[in-house]
Each structure stands twice: as C-alpha cells, then as structure tokens.
Amino acid sequence: MTASPVASLPLSAIAKACRQAARQLAVLPTEAKNQAIEAIAIALEAATPEILAANAADCVAAQTDGIPKPLYNRLKLDETKLKAAIDGVRDVGKLSDPVGAVPIHRELDEGLILKQVTCPVGVLGIIFEARPDALIQITTLAIKSGNGVILKGGKEAIRSCETLVRVIHQALSATAVAPAAIQLLTTREETIALLQLDEYIDLIIPRGSNSFVRFVQENTRIPVLGHADGICHVYIDQAADLQKAVDITVDAKTQYPAACCAMETLLVDSAIAPTFLPLAAAALHKRNVELRGDEATQNILNTSYSVVPATEEDWSTEYSDLILSIKVVDSLDAAIDHINTYGSQHTDAIVTEDQAVADTFLAQVDSASVFHNCSTRFADGFRYGLGAEVGISTQKMPPRGPVGLEGLVTYKYQVAGNGHIVANYVGEKAKPFTHRDL
C-alpha cells in the first residue's frame, strides 16, 4: 500500500503540512478545485472493487468483534452506496464556489470601500464512526470550500478509510490540489492529540454519540461543530390524511433505520389514534418493527399486535433500529411540548391538512429541521441540494442542520482607501460617512 505523503511524520508535523497545503488550496480558482473533484470521482470508480474488498474485510472483522447492528449498517459499503457517494462527489463539483462571494460591498466614504468576502475556515478536524462514505463526502466538501481536512475514522472502518484516502491521494497527485491537504489518522491515541492542535486546526466536527460530542467539547480549545443524537419525531394531527400519515410513518422509520434522521418516536393525536394506529401498526408489522407504546397505545393495539410498554427512557432513546416508541397526546401543544422536552433538536415532522396547525408546529418546535407532510428522512445534505454534508448540526448557532459548503466558509472584511485616516471623521468638524451599498 502506498503511504500518504506525510503518514510517517509526528501528528504535529502532519497537521502543519495539512495547514500549508490548505493555504495553497484556499487560493485556487474554482476550475482547479472542480478538476480535482472530478479526478477523485474517476479514481473512486476505477478502484471500486478494491474499496469494496477493503470494506468487506472491515465488516467481517467488525462482526467478529460484536459490532452493534446500527453501526454495522453504517459501516457496510456496497456498490449501490458507493455509487451514490461518487454521484455526490460530482454533485459538489457542480455547486457554486462558496469562496470569494461578496455579501457586503459598501462605500464608507468616497474612495473608502468595504467588502465582506467569504473565505475558507482553514483546517477541519473530522472525527467520525463507521461510515466510510462520510469520508468521501467530507473530503469533497473540504476541497470545494478550500479547506484542508484531517480525518479520524473509527477502528471498525480502518481498511476502508485507508484505501479511500490512498485512492484520493493518487487522484490529487495529478491535480493542483496537494494531497497533503487530506490527512487520515488511524489510532485512538491520535484522537486525543488531535484535540490539542489548536495551533493548526480551526474547527472540529465530531460525528458520534451525544456523550462523545460532549467529550470532544470538554477536551479541546478548538471550536466544535457538534452533531449528536438524532431523536426525531413524527406527529400525526387529528386533521391528517390517513394514507399520507401511514406512508410517512413507514418511510421515516424503515427506509434506513440507522440514519440519524430516522423517526424514533411517533406521536398521535387522541382524536385520530383509534383509527390511525391500527393502520400504522399493520404497515409497520410487515416490516418487522418492534412497537413500544404508552398505555393508550397499548389499549388500542394490544388485541391485534404485541406492544411493549414504553418507559421514560424510551422517549429519549435513539434506537437506530427497527424499534419505534409511540405516544398518544391530547393536543398539538402536548406534542410540541413532548418534542421540545425529549427531542435532540434534529428533525421533527407533522402530518396534517390544517395549514394553521402546521404553521404553529413549524414555528414552535425547536429543531434544526421541521417538516410538514413529508418524511424526516429528507433531512440530508444531498437531498437538500447541498451536494453532500460533513454532518448535521443540532446546535443553535449557525451553521445548523445539514452542513454543506456554506457551513465550511467564514468571511473577512477588506477595506481599501486612498490615504484615509480616522482623525478626519471625529471631532467638531468630523467628516460624515456615506455608508452607501454598491
């Protein structure tokens, strides 16, 4: 296996090399970055058998180690998932360059011009579990946004990640993007060391459990863009269309249960519960979903379906599996209160034909993504037209929700004058500013 350009160096040297390469990447024209992205797509297509073989070896080892089913589903990279990831690479290449935009262009005074210009963050430190396809997405977004990236994947995906980075490095070696801009760490010890490299790393993005994200936040001085649990809800309002409600419920739970935007709790208005729940339970039963319900749910369903009594813990659990907790609520306010109490501010949906009720839900549910009459599974960077995502941020400060290119740039203020000095703008004879947008 061909080593990466700086793989044998100490971590600080790797980070320094990444930062130097990132500075070169930051000033590349859009065409050069797009050429590098297309080179990666071509190389990944050519190396598909090798990548899948490495992933298969990871999967075998992970099963031997007793990997949890949800994590195994995220680890497994079949030909369909890899092709989708490569399509995502090309989609990023088609997106507008986020670097060099000018949101503000303003005359402060004659000959004194202010510009707010978008620019790369610098070097990203990405720590993620299992998903090798995430490495592909993150690398592509980093290049398009002009950022270097240091990737730390989980041990369960080490063969997949090493193969992917080697293929990416080989692709970049024939482009204007230095391979050193993309780095991979492979040991647990390097995770702790990575968090101390505030001299070289500008932003840490952890993708894992809530406890892991908190651990990262508490052990670094580097800004952290946190993506933790995905405890997502669907609320079936009394004015819901029953067929829409069943279809959305099934899709949100079963389309890909391991996804962070899969539904974990179904809330049903008491006025519609006796009619809706048997329909939903029948559809979910066909897909082998285990149901856990409150007393009202049990009373409605237990004559036909086995419903496990839900506990307080169920309302705050991300199953990432074919398990669904169900609660009957008396009102829209009760549904919103439940979501804001137990949810993770990720993605929550309402099914209703009453627009006023939907508007209230969308306004009052405190989550990064709020949906009306559609599945929570749409909460995804690719589906949002972002090309891909580095993660989904559940924090209040932006970027929030799926983080694509716009979340990987910051800005600087550029001011150009012609000998202007502040002394002329203060005092009794102060010159006025024009503050005219150009």
Q: Is the pLDDT of residue 385 over 90?
A: no
Q: Is the pLDDT of residue 117 over 60?
A: yes
Identify the pLDDT of residue 303: 86
- 339-357 pLDDT, tens per residue? 999 999 999 999 999 999 9
Residue with token string 């075998």 = 60
Q: Is the pLDDT of residue 287 over 50?
A: yes
Q: What percent of the chain has pLDDT over 70?
A: 97
pTM above 0.75, yes or no: yes
Average pLDDT over the chain, rounded to whole? 94
- Give the homologous superfamily in CATH for domain 232-378: Aldehyde Dehydrogenase; Chain A, domain 2 (3.40.309.10)
Q: Is the pLDDT of residue 95 over 60?
A: yes
**How would residue 79 be classed by pLDDT, with cut points 50, 70 and 90?**
very high
User: Are both 11-228+394-412 and 232-378 of the same fold?
Assistant: no
Which CATH number fits the domain 11-228+394-412, given the four candidates 3.40.50.150, 3.40.50.300, 3.40.50.10310, 3.40.605.10? 3.40.605.10
**Distances from the Cα of 69 to the Cα of 75, 152, 411, angstroms:** 10, 22, 42
> DSSP letters along 16-62, please?
HHHHHHHHHHHT--HHHHHHHHHHHHHHHHHTHHHHHHHHHHHHHHH
Higher-confidence residue of 2 and 57: namely: 57
**Distances from the Cα of 53 to the Cα of 78, 315, 363, angstroms:** 10, 39, 47
Identify the pLDDT of residue 391: 81
Domain boundaries, the chain: 11-228+394-412, 232-378
270-273 long-range contacts, Cβ below 8 Å, gap at least 24? 270/296, 270/328, 270/329, 270/330, 271/238, 272/236, 272/237, 272/238, 272/240, 272/242, 273/297, 273/300, 273/328
Q: What percent of the chain has pLDDT over 90?
A: 83
**How would residue 1 be classed by pLDDT, with cut points 50, 70 and 90?**
very low
- Average pLDDT of the segment spanning 382-388: 84
Give the least confident one: 7-11, 76-80, 163-167, 217-221. Answer: 7-11
- 409-438 pLDDT, tens per residue? 999 999 999 999 999 999 999 999 999 999
Higher-confidence residue of 333 and 381: namely: 333
Identify the pLDDT of residue 4: 44
- Residue 147 φ/ψ region, left for φ over 0, alpha for ψ in the -120 to 50 degree band, beta for the rest: beta
